[in-house]
Amino acid sequence: MDKKYSKSTFGINYPFCTESGLIPKKESRRYWTDLYFVRGKKVRVSSQWVIAHTNQFKEYLVNKGISDKTKLEDSTVSDDDTKHGQRVSTRVNSRYRGNAIGNAQNLLVRNILSNLGEESFNQEDWENTKNYFENKCAYCGSEEELVIEHAVPINKVSLGEHRLGNIIPSCKSCNSRKADKGYKEFLEGNRHRTRRIEEYMDSRNYVPLGENEQVAKILEMAYQEVAVVSKRYIEILNELFPNN
């Protein structure tokens, strides 16, 4: 996290990683958006890598005992593989419309958040929820076909849950446009509709997890473990068919 150390060790002009909350807005694009929890701190990693930095990074891995030269030789990237100044891709393969590991990671997080606690509800509860909002879209008031919408998105950033207090009726148009936005951001200052949703949450005793760092840290661990498990089984299966 020290700029001078990062410069002398890797040759990059930014700290290898920086606490997420301490990155100035104007420098945010210098860091990948993925969050990592390192020794209790939420950090982002610098994206300012070019082909010339590869050898310095490998030397660091060897010196710290993180990897060895034999393994690193198999991952060598030549100057011909990328134009000077462009970021280096470390992907083993790239397959058009393949199933990205991120899909599985996000699905696991959704599964965890959707099953926390012992609350249960049924179709009748959902009908009561629609009645609470007068059978209209909670966002725009439309009386078109209504679908279940999570006011607080179910992901590792927003920490929404599949609880009765977090599901509200939405028309398909608002549901599509809202995407991963929270209800407050989507409503853009519409105090009446925002207050109505929050009153509904209170009536169902739903308290959003908000920015609970402990929960976020655990979910990040689960998120990363999916990639590790996937890689392990890919390697096991590839060893069965070394020539294929």
Among the listed residues 55, 53, 44, the one whose alpha carbon sits nearest the alpha carbon of residue 86: 53
The predicted structure's pLDDT at residue 235: 87
**Burial environment of residue 46 by CB neighbours within 10 A (0 to 12, 13 to 18, 19 or more):** buried
The predicted structure's pLDDT at residue 86: 44
The predicted structure's pLDDT at residue 27: 80
The answer to whether the beta carbons of residues 20 and 46 sit under 8 Å apart is: no
* CA distance linking residue 154 with residue 166, whole number of Å: 10
Domain boundaries, the chain: 3-81, 98-244
Per-10-residue mean pLDDT, the chain, length 244: 87 88 82 84 84 80 83 58 43 66 91 94 96 97 95 94 96 93 93 96 94 88 90 87 73
Among the listed residues 66, 48, 65, the one whose alpha carbon sits nearest the alpha carbon of residue 6: 48
* CA contacts within 13 A on the Cβ side of 187: 21
User: One-letter amino acid identity for 110?
Assistant: R
The predicted structure's pLDDT at residue 74: 63
The predicted structure's pLDDT at residue 75: 57
The answer to whether the beta carbons of residues 36 and 16 sit under 8 Å apart is: no
What does the H/E/C string look like for 175-227? HHHHCCCCHHHHHCCCHHHHHHHHHHHHHCCCCCCCCCHHHHHHHHHHHHHHH
* CA distance linking residue 182 with residue 197, whole number of Å: 12
The predicted structure's pLDDT at residue 130: 97
The predicted structure's pLDDT at residue 122: 95
The predicted structure's pLDDT at residue 39: 81
The predicted structure's pLDDT at residue 91: 47
The answer to whether the beta carbons of residues 171 and 140 sit under 8 Å apart is: yes
Among the listed residues 219, 214, 213, 116, the one whose alpha carbon sits nearest the alpha carbon of residue 165: 116
